[in-house]
Amino acid sequence: MKAIRVHEHGGSDNVIIVDLPDPIPTPTEAVIRMAATSVNHLDIWVREGMSNLRLPLPMILGSDGAGTVVQVGSEINDLRPGDRVLISPGSSCGKCAQCLSGHDNLCREYKILGEHCDGTDAELVAARRDNIVKLPDDVSFEDAAASSLVFITAYQMLAEKARVQPMEDLLVMGASSGVGTAAIQIAKLFNARVIAVAGSDEKLNKAKAIGADDVINYNFEKISDGVRRLTGKRGVDVVFEHTGRETWTESILAAKRGGRIVTCGATTGPEAVTDLRYVFSRQLTIFGSTMGSKSLLLTMLDLMKSGRFHAVIDRKLSYAEVREAHNIIEARKQFGKIVLTF
């Protein structure tokens, strides 16, 4: 089979396509022929290498993926060859207190596919049964692959951490990213007012098309000034943060007294400066968040079937064009996700 793999850290030239033996499933695994995967900023981090985190190389990239079952292990009786399925981007032990309470992403053995273990960017992937979700016929492989990681991440951030409420003001940093486009749509499910931040009017117009109420172009206006303008100097109730160093100070300044900031990433750098005087004097609450429970994939699919949540796909490329996908994301030229087809 063909697989997209990184053998050593570096630029996009370090992403290579290799031939590997077809996977053989264990009794509790199924082998899936991948139809579509998608590229996340996480793939960029893994390719480049992360400080203070040793990644197991070589690594097959990819966290998202959907396709068709081709073989099932001997202990699986509820999947058959030909079934359309989605692979969960996270894996856990399934037995500890956190897993059994529905917080599997807090499991000590939690692994993100394509970061802590081989991922989904291959023609064939073996996955444990508890990491496989059946895909409804009216949800395409491409839409499912574009949405899973970003949906569960944004949903946990907004619904379970920050607990966004109707009529609250939400500031979405990096609104053109995959997780940003998911956040806009999820916030509108809760009837919040969304203020989207991006660096071009084209991206901001697209953000409005998927539900953003107001926009700020950071190339023409300081983000915190735009928030003051749009909120009558009050500040926003919730800041959706994932960009890190370049926007962190503005996120602190944009939050109202008693506001909440929830963060899941640091795409512009992890070493952000925090002026603690703003944190305690404004009585801010800061939440850290990583991924979300596998059960949220069922929530996502229900919302997609009902038309209340849509995949936002910038473009579809062949898996052979994976380097181009990495370059587009690094240059911030996409709106939503880039899907790879197999």
pLDDT, tens digit, 9 for 90 and up, residues 266-293: 999 999 999 999 999 999 999 999 999 9
Instruction: Give mean pLDDT, residues 300-323.
Output: 98
At residue 87, the 3 state secondary structure works out as: strand
Reply yes or no on whether the pLDDT at 50 is more than 90.
Answer: no
Dihedral pair phi/psi, residue 310, rounded to 5°: -125, 140
**Residue 54: which pLDDT band, with cuts at 50, 70 and 90?**
confident
Q: Are 94 and 108 in contact (CB under 8 A)?
A: no
- Give the model's pLDDT for residue 311: 98
> What are the tokens at 237?
């109730």
Reply yes or no on whether the pLDDT at 140 is more than 80.
Answer: yes
One DSSP character per residue, 275-302 reads: -HHHHHHTT-EEEE-----TTHHHHHHH
> What are the tokens at 203?
């991206």
> What are the tokens at 197?
């931040």
Which helix (H) or strand (E) is 37 found in, with range? Answer: strand 29-39
Do the domains 2-135+312-341 and 152-288 sit in the same CATH topology, yes or no?
Answer: yes
Q: Which CATH superfamily is domain 2-135+312-341 in?
A: Medium-chain alcohol dehydrogenases, catalytic domain (3.90.180.10)
> What are the tokens at 304?
């997609």
Q: Where are the domains of the chain?
A: 2-135+312-341, 152-288
- Give the model's pLDDT for residue 107: 97
For residue 16, CA distances in Å to 6, 53, 164 come to 6, 22, 41
* Whether CATH 3.30.300.30 fits 152-288: no
pLDDT in tens, 205-216: 999 999 999 999
pLDDT in tens, 203-254: 999 999 999 999 999 999 999 999 999 999 999 999 999 999 999 999 999 9
One DSSP character per residue, 119-130 reads: -S-BSEEEEEGG
**Residue 53: which pLDDT band, with cuts at 50, 70 and 90?**
confident
Query: Position 19: which residue type?
Result: D
Euclidean distance between CA atoms 332 and 137, whole angstroms: 33
The candidate with the shortest Cα–Cα distance to 87, out of 40, 35, 137, is 35
Percent of the chain clearing pLDDT 70 (strictly above): 100
